[in-house]
Chains A and B, each alone.
Chain A
Amino acid sequence: MRGGLLNRRVATVQAVDDVSFSVAKGEVLGIVGESGCGKSTTARLLMHLIAPDAGEVIFDGEPVGAPHGITVKELRRKMQMVFQDSYASLNPRMTIVESIAYAPRMHGMPAAASRQRAEALLGQVGLNPSQFARRYPHELSGGQRQRVNIARALALEPRLVILDEAVSALDKSIEAQVLNLLRDLKDRYNLTYLFISHDLNVVEYVSDRVLVMYLGRVVETGPVDSIYLRPRHPYTRALLAAKPTLDPDRRTKHFPLTGDPPNPINPPSGCRFRTRCAFATAVCAEHVPALAPPTDGEDPWHLVACHLPEAQANTETAHAR
């Protein structure tokens, strides 16, 4: 964070700290967490929109930015992103077909061919090109704009698409349509998705694997069924239990997790969740828990960052302090 005279460094926010994961080709990795946990920052770091302080991105076995690997520019051909705000993501002065055709044209495709591809993509995402091609973003609804954003992300024929809260701002019915569209496109073009969201239901519906983040760190990761049926980290359990029940006879009385996450400028030492965790002990304050298979030995693909076997095994929710 910079501020004051001459923009000095006033404080450092560790938005993302020691986050490592891999995404297999053709899968959908869902990233969940509260607002401010670093999900969007992770996405931007992957795309190199923010310069990382440390770490590397390896795409298809090739490191990005290294002399023998691929350049950032090449990475951006293979990896694209759809943002949350559908209106701000589009240049208000360009027609949507121009917006979609922009990237291919800048990469060397002739203008007519890129326009044709843009119109074809508009058809693919469900917007009739003869009706919509020459419209401006302010003439479309939110759902239509998000389709345009998806079409634009596909214009460079990427292999991986990062969807940063891409459906969060849409009405539920539109959201369902767009999710179906995303699934169709994934099947058609053999895409891999990184689906970032705070909506647990959507992530469960869409993902193959899930990554749970808290305050800039990964706390749990594993196959979606394993995470949702048997969450092992107290935070994940609390997150899942925070969903209001649909049964009026069993209303949620105790909220499993209250309060806000601590200030990311001054995070708690050791495990960052310990200030809100019912199981926290002294060791939690001293050592950062490593992401490892669970202590009970089952589900080796399900990794948890927690020191305490009893916290992992507990099936009740972790109540707030």
Chain B
Amino acid sequence: MGEVTTLFLPKAADASVSAQAASPGYWRNVRHHLQRDPITVAVTLLLLLIIASAIFAPVFATYDPYQGNILTRLQPIGTPGHWLGTDETGRDLYSRLVYGGRLSLLEGVIPVSSALMVGGFLGIVAGYAGGLTNSLIMRTMDVFYAFPSVLLAIAICGILGNGFVNSMFALSIVFVPPLTRISETVTAQVRGLDFVEAARASGTTTMQIIRYHVLSNVLGPILVYATSLISISIILAAGLSFLGLGVNPPSAEWGVMLNSLRQAIYVQPYVAALPGLMIFVTSMCFNLMSDGLRSAMDVRLNT
């Protein structure tokens, strides 16, 4: 370019934006809005508490989750020493819920994370490439979409056998099609925008364009959707365990506990419902957090 001479043309006509410090980045803006939303904050704190209790279960629990005294089985809520009662073999319910959080939370996060990697990748490729590649990938996903997720999970677990690992694998497969679909939709939208065309026009490679231009615009909506899937994953995993296809007793896991406490529903209904309550609360927390994230990202676009 030779000599660089700066040229400051009079900006009277378009000096509508006053001089200011650099604007905070996009994600910092999102975090700023998240912090202002009371529901999201409350829900996130509750979730952090549940996660902390799961990680530091030995600290939070009061009893060994596997040791029970048959003589003290099915005690009601508020029993001295067992403030949430005991289950059908006399194990302390509170401690089992705390330890159960470990498996249940993992069952929420692991399938969604692995499906995110596979489905996100496939969806972005399909959305960016278009044409035959897109058709191949999306029509394959449609085949899986034809099955209701519960039935698909049960079918895969039925083939592979029960157990924690198999149920994780089955749920991952269940979540790949929806994540692929949403990744493809968002990527195709972004692909059609002018700045991606401008990036193509600058002669950069496809990988560079995807990395610098597509990903940053696409990850937001995908992440919001994935977060909402976590709650579904927890419920589905609990369902699988309830049916005997997931985790086996005597492991502490909320779905398994629901199953084994089924017969106790006439004796101690509140105690029997507690694992279900935990599933409900955790799922709701993930859902509301996902909603809050989506609002925070939308608000940013409106400023």
Chain A residues with CB under 8 Å of chain B are 6-7, 47, 49, 72-77, 80-81, 83, 85, 88-95, 99, 102-103, 106-107, 117, 120, 123-126, 128, 131, 133-136, 138-144, 149, 152, 155-157, 171, 173-174, 177, 181, 184, 189
Contact = CB atoms under 8 A, between A and B. Distances in A.
B9 A181 contact: yes
B204 interface: yes
B6 A124 contact: yes
Interface stretch (B10-18, B120-128, B276-284): B10-18
B204 A107 contact: yes
B67 interface: no
Contacts, number: 115
Contacts of A189: 1
A140 B17 contact: yes
Given A94-B213, A103-B202, A141-B17, 7 more contacts: A75-B203, A83-B194, A90-B195, A124-B5, A125-B7, A155-B202, A189-B1
Contacts of A47: 201
Contact of A76 (B4, B9, B201): B201
14 contacts: A49-B200, A74-B203, A89-B198, A102-B199, A102-B204, A107-B204, A117-B1, A123-B6, A126-B11, A152-B198, A171-B13, A177-B9, A184-B7, A189-B1
Nearest to A131: B19
B216 A141 contact: no
B205 interface: yes
A85 B198 CA distance: 11
B26 interface: yes
Contacts of B135: 6-7
B266 interface: no
A138 B192 CA distance: 19
A131 B23 CA distance: 11
B217 A93 contact: yes
Contacts of A140: 17
A174 B194 contact: no
Nearest to A121: B1
Nearest to A128: B8
B1 A120 contact: yes
Contacts of B213: 91, 94
Given A76-B201, A103-B204, A141-B17, A93 B26 contact: yes
B22 interface: yes
B79 interface: no
Nearest to A144: B14
B214 to A, nearest CB: 9
Nearest to B202: A103
B212 interface: yes
A174 B14 contact: yes
B193 interface: yes
B64 interface: no
Q: Which 6 A-B pairs have the closest CB atoms?
A: A134-B22, A76-B203, A123-B6, A103-B202, A126-B9, A106-B204
Nearest to A99: B195
Nearest to A184: B7
B25 to A, nearest CB: 8
Contacts of A143: 13-14
B201 A91 contact: no
B208 interface: yes
Contact of A92 (B5, B200, B217): B217
Contact of B216 (A93, A133, A157): A93
B204 A81 contact: no
Given A93-B216, A120-B1, A88 B193 contact: yes
A194 to B, nearest CB: 13
Contact of A120 (B6, B193, B203, B205): B6
B197 interface: yes
B4 to A, nearest CB: 5
A106 B1 contact: no
Interface string B205-234: 100100011001100000000000000000
B13 to A, nearest CB: 5
B22 A95 contact: yes
A102 B212 contact: yes
Contact of A124 (B7, B17, B203, B303): B7
B22 A135 contact: yes
A134 B17 CA distance: 13
Contacts of B203: 72-77, 103, 107, 156
A120 B91 CA distance: 72
A66 B196 CA distance: 26
B225 to A, nearest CB: 18
A90 B195 CA distance: 5
Contacts of B208: 106
Nearest to B198: A89
B201 A81 contact: yes
Interface in B11-68: 11, 13-14, 16-17, 19, 22-23, 26
Q: Which of B8, B13, B203 has the most CB of A within 10 A?
A: B203
Contacts of B19: 131
Contact of B202 (A95, A102, A142, A173): A102
A92 B26 CA distance: 9
Contacts of B13: 143, 171, 173-174, 177
A152 to B, nearest CB: 7
Given A76-B202, A103-B202, A157-B1, A139 B23 contact: yes
